[in-house]
Amino acid sequence: MNRLESYKEVVPKGTVEFLKLLAEKVRGKRILEINSTRVGGGVAEILQSLVPLFREVGLECRWEVISGTEEFFNVTKAFHNALQGREENISPQMLKAYIEINRENAQRLSLDADYVVIHDPQPAALIENRTSGGKWIWRCHIDISTPQLKVWSFLRQFVVKYDSAIFSLPSFARKLPIPQFLIYPSIDPLSDKNRELSSEEQNRILQKLNIPLDKPILLQVSRFDRFKDPLGVIQAYRLVKKYHDVRLILAGGSATDDPEGEIVLAEVRDLAQNDPDILILMLPPDAHLEINALQRAATIILQKSLREGFGLTVTEAMWKGKPVIGGFAGGITVQLVYGVTGFTVYSVEGAALRIHYLLDNPALRARMGEDAKEYARRNFLITRNLGNYLALMAYLG
């Protein structure tokens, strides 16, 4: 059985047959996907699953990753923060470095394809070196609804040269003279991060991580990034801890395009103050089975983001049948149907209140988890994402 056929066991009935019919519209076309990292983060994980599926349905698909200096990734991290609304000082030298690294990558990479999909701001300036007659699509995964205008104005000069843009939510779209489309990100239900685990396999992984199972587990999985608010999660845990004997696990990792992670991790360790019931796990980018086991062992999963592109860790938790408490930010708001698939909160106190509520109501936790899994099945799996891209490419011609 090929991989696409195996999805029939988990996705809504008729999905695979529909994808095969849709793929006939663009069979033989060449797709080039370009982003800034091959491991770490939701974009890389989506491409790891999506690229093989494109090939399986009959398209030629390449995935390239831009390279850059430490200075370049410091610049693009500042771009990331500024586009999501944080004030950053961006100097002319930083803008010059951004353009120069994009120019160097354009000389290194072959940009010839029928569809060139550029992910996020880091490689956006590659459009300046467009040579073929293919369609160029800018896929933005972050929340740029309230950007620092100076940075957005700089980036916009490149974005308007694309044939279309894709955003994760309608509220992220900007005024642009090109067509804009809405596509939710997705998870792969058959990947190591999301597939079913036997109880023996799960226990073996948790023992390897030295995770005790004697208390309810509160879990947040995310990069150590201020927008993910790991400090707020610790504060909420401390409010809950006065009444419930729980354990908090903060599991994260690093990505090659995020130089700020070590600084935030040090702040998290400082606030945790060697509390034996706060476990901080720094996991490698390929720790997919470990994250899978942690999510399945958790009692409640948090994603208390202050800003969020979409929040695929929320989808992962929902797919494992867990109730989720998330910050009212970005794509978390479309995943968590309030009181049905989870709760959205605005504050540390709000998060603590909902943790209390769920800890006191095990029947509600179970029902909410079931609803969350079904909602994820129908809306946020990789097969739906594949269908969206095939339809868009057929439309663009």
Stretches in the chain below the pLDDT threshold 70: 1-2, 254-259
pLDDT at 376: 97
pLDDT at 259: 67
Beta bridge pairs of residue 165: 138, 180
Q: Which tokens sit at 157?
A: 């000069």
Torsion-angle region of residue 63: left (phi > 0), alpha (psi -120 to 50) or beta?
beta
* Span between the terminal Cα atoms of the chain, in Å: 31
Answer positive or negative: Cα dihedral of 57, 186, 250, 71: positive
Q: Is residue 308 within 8 Å of 333, Cβ to Cβ?
A: no
Over the stretch 10-51, which tens digit does the pLDDT of each residue have?
999 999 999 999 999 999 999 999 999 998 788 999 999 999
How far is the C-alpha of 257 from the C-alpha of 273, rounded, in Å?
29
- Say how many CA atoms lie within 13 Å of 54 toward its Cβ: 25
Output b/e per residue, 309-338; b: 16+ Cβ within 10 A: bbbbbbbbbbbbbbbbbbbbbbbbbbbbee
For residue 122, give the nearest of 219, 258, 226, 214 by alpha carbon: 258
| Total-model pTM | 0.90
Tokens for 13, please give them: 């009935």
pLDDT for 253: 78
The SS3 of residue 250 is strand
Q: Write out pLDDT tens, residues 236-295.
A: 999 999 999 999 999 997 655 566 788 899 999 999 998 999 999 999 988 999 999 999
What lies within 8 Å, CB to CB, of 151 at 6+ separation is: 79, 82, 83, 88, 90
As a whole number of angstroms, the distance between CA 250 and CA 39 comes to 20
CB 155 within 8 A of CB 121: yes
- Across the chain, mean pLDDT equals 94
Distances, alpha carbon 337 to alpha carbons 186, 346, 385, in Å: 17, 15, 20
Task: Give the position of tokens 């160097």.
Answer: 104
Q: Dihedrals φ, ψ of 208, to 5°?
A: -65, -35
Lookup result for tokens 């609804």:
145
Judged on CB neighbours under 10 Å (0-12, 13-18, 19+), 391 is middle
